[in-house]
A = this chain, B = another copy of it.
Amino acid sequence: TGYGDDHTREIMRQELRERLIQAEREGRPLRVYCGYDPRTTDLHLGHTITMHKLRQFQEFGHHVIFLIGSFTSLIGDPDDVKAREILTPEKVAENAQTYKEQAFKILDPKKTEVRHNSEWLAELGFLDVIKLAQHFTVQQFLAREGFSNRLEDGNPIYLHEFFYPLMQGYDPIGLKADAQVGGQDQLFNLMAGRQLMQKLGVQPQVVIAMGESLPGTDGIEKMSKSKGNHIALLSEPGQMYTSLMKLPDFAMPLYFKLLLGWSQEDVDDMMVRINRGEVEPQEVKAGMALDITTIFHGREAALQGREFSRKAMQEGGIPDDIAEHVILSDTPLVDLLVVTGLCKSKGDAKRQIQGGGVRRDSDKVTDFDEIVRVTDLPTVLQY
List which A102-147 residues lie within 8 A (CB) of chain B.
Answer: 121-131, 133-139, 141-142, 147
Complex Cα spacing A83 to B133, Å: 12
A81 lies within 8 A of chain B by Cβ: no
Please state if A134 and B166 are interface contacts (CB–CB under 8 Å): no
A157 lies within 8 A of chain B by Cβ: yes
A227 lies within 8 A of chain B by Cβ: no
Complex Cα spacing A128 to B147, Å: 23
Residues in chain B near residue A20, CB distance under 8 A: none
Q: Whole-angstrom distance from the CB of A144 to the nearest CB of chain B?
A: 12
Please state if B129 and A129 are interface contacts (CB–CB under 8 Å): yes
A160 lies within 8 A of chain B by Cβ: yes
Chain A contact residue count (CB 8 A cutoff): 38
The A interface is mostly helix, strand or loop, or mixed, namely helix
Please state if B131 and A163 are interface contacts (CB–CB under 8 Å): no
Please state if A134 and B74 are interface contacts (CB–CB under 8 Å): no
Given A122-B126, A125-B126, A129-B126, answer yes or no on A136-B159 (Cβ-Cβ < 8 Å).
Answer: yes
Please state if B127 and A126 are interface contacts (CB–CB under 8 Å): no
CB < 8 Å neighbour of A130 from B133, B142, B156, B160: B160
Q: Whole-angstrom distance from the CB of A91 to the nearest CB of chain B?
A: 13
Contacts A124-B125, A131-B160 known; list 4 others, CB within 8 Å.
A126-B128, A138-B161, A139-B151, A159-B162
Chain A contact residues, CB within 8 Å of chain B = 71, 74-75, 83, 86, 89, 121-131, 133-139, 141-142, 147, 151, 156-163, 166-167
Q: List 16 A-B contacts (CB under 8 A).
A: A74-B130, A86-B131, A86-B134, A125-B126, A133-B158, A134-B159, A134-B160, A136-B158, A137-B156, A138-B156, A138-B157, A138-B161, A138-B162, A139-B156, A139-B157, A159-B166
